Amino acid sequence: MASGVTVKPLRILHLEDSPADHALACITLRRANGMYEIRHADTMETFTAWLDAERFDLVLADYRLPGFTALDAWRIVSARADAPPFVLLSGAIGEAAAVDAIRLGMADYLLKDDMGRLPHVIDRAIEVHEARRARKQAVRELAASERRLAELTEHLQTSIEKERAAIAREIHDDIGGALTAVRFDVEWIRRHASEEPVRRHAGDATEMLQHAIGASQRIMMDLRPPILDQGLVAAVQWLAESFERRTGIPTRVHAGRDTIAVPADVQLVAYRTAQEALTNVSKYAEAGQVAIDLSDSEGVLTLEVTDNGRGIEPAMRNKPKSFGLKGLEERARTVGGWLDISSQPGRGTSVIVSIPLGPAEGRDAADGGEMP
C-alpha cells in the first residue's frame, strides 16, 4: 500500500564535454536504483543557463573542458546564495589539484576510472552539505536568539533603572517628606509637654523618626543617587567614600580627569559595576584596602575596582544562582562594553569594565589626578 509520501528525485547538473562520459555517468546512477534527474551542459554558456533556469541539488563536473576548467565553474556556483555541493568527476586531474579544489570548497572528487563509486560519493556529498547547511542555520538561529536576549536584557535593565528612579522620587517626595513633618510635630510635643514621661517618649520617637529618615535616604541613594547628575567621577568618589565610611576599608579613587563626560547609559553601567564590585568586597573579600581607577584614554572608558582580599576561587564564578557578576557582564554588553575579572586566591581581585566611547565622548578639557 502506498505510503502517500512523495520522494523527489535528486537534481544533478553534469558539466561534461564528452557525450560518452556523460552517458556512462547516467548509466551508473541508473543502476544504483536511485531517483535522479540529470541535466547536461558542455559549455560555460549552457552551464550558466541551466543554473539560472533550475535549482540543482548537486553539480558534477569534469576538471578540464574546452576553454575553461571546473575552477571557473566553481566560482560561478559558489557565488550563488544557496550553492549546491560541487563534485569533480575527472580522468585528467592529479591528486594535488584535487586537494586544492576541495580546499577551495568543493565537496569531493572522483576519478572516472572509479565510476562505480559515483552514487556513494554523491550521497556523501549531499549528506555533508545538508549537515553544513543545518549547522549554519543553527548558528543563525543562535545569533538571532542572542540578539533577542541582549535586547531583552537591555530593556529589563532600562525598566529596572526607571523603576528605581521612580521609587527614589517617591521616597524623597512622599515618605521622606512625611517622616520629616512627623518628626517636627513630635519634637514640638516634646518641647511643650509638661509631663516627663511624655517628653521621654516623644524624645525616643524623635530618635526613631530620625533613624527612619536616615534609612529612607540611604535607600534612595542606593536606588538612584542624585550625585550621578554631577558626573561619573563625582558619583564614584561618593560611592567610595560611603563604602569606606560604612565598612572601614580604606578606598582610594584615581581618575584620569576631574570630569569624564559620557552618555547617561554608559555612566550608569560604570556606576553599577563599581557598586556591585564594592558590595562583593564587603561581603566576601575580607580585604584590607580597595583601589578604584577610572579613565577614558584611547577612546575607551575603563573602570577598575581592585582589592587585596581573599580572591575568587575559579569554581565560584560559575556556581548556580550566582548572578552578580553575570549581571554585570550583561550590563556591559548593553552599551557595547565587556567585563574582565582577574583574581588569584589569597591575592585579591580586579573587576574591570571597558566601554568604547564615541569621538566626542570622554574628552573633557580639564585634566584630572588622584583624589583623596
Q: What does the DSSP 8-state code read for residue 173?
A: I
Q: What angle do CA 296, 300, 304 make, to 5 degrees?
A: 70
CATH number of the 10-136 domain: 3.40.50.2300
Q: In angstroms, how far is CA 69 from the centroid of its own chain? A: 44
CATH number of the 228-371 domain: 3.30.565.10
Beta strands in the chain (DSSP E): 10-15, 36-41, 58-61, 64-65, 68-69, 86-90, 108-111, 251-255, 290-295, 300-307, 338-343, 349-356, 370-371
Domain boundaries, the chain: 10-136, 161-223, 228-371
Residue 148 three-state SS: helix
Contact 256, 294 (CB under 8 A): yes
Whether pTM exceeds 0.85: no
* Rounded distance between C-alpha atoms, residue 7 and residue 10, angstroms: 9
Contact 370, 254 (CB under 8 A): yes
pLDDT of residue 101: 82
* Rounded distance between C-alpha atoms, residue 95 and residue 184, angstroms: 96
**Pairing verdict, β 86-90 and 108-111:** parallel
Beta strands in 231-348 (DSSP E): 251-255, 290-295, 300-307, 338-343
| Residue spans of the chain under pLDDT 50 | 1-3, 362-372
Contact 178, 209 (CB under 8 A): no
Q: Which residue has 551508473 as its cell numbers?
A: 28
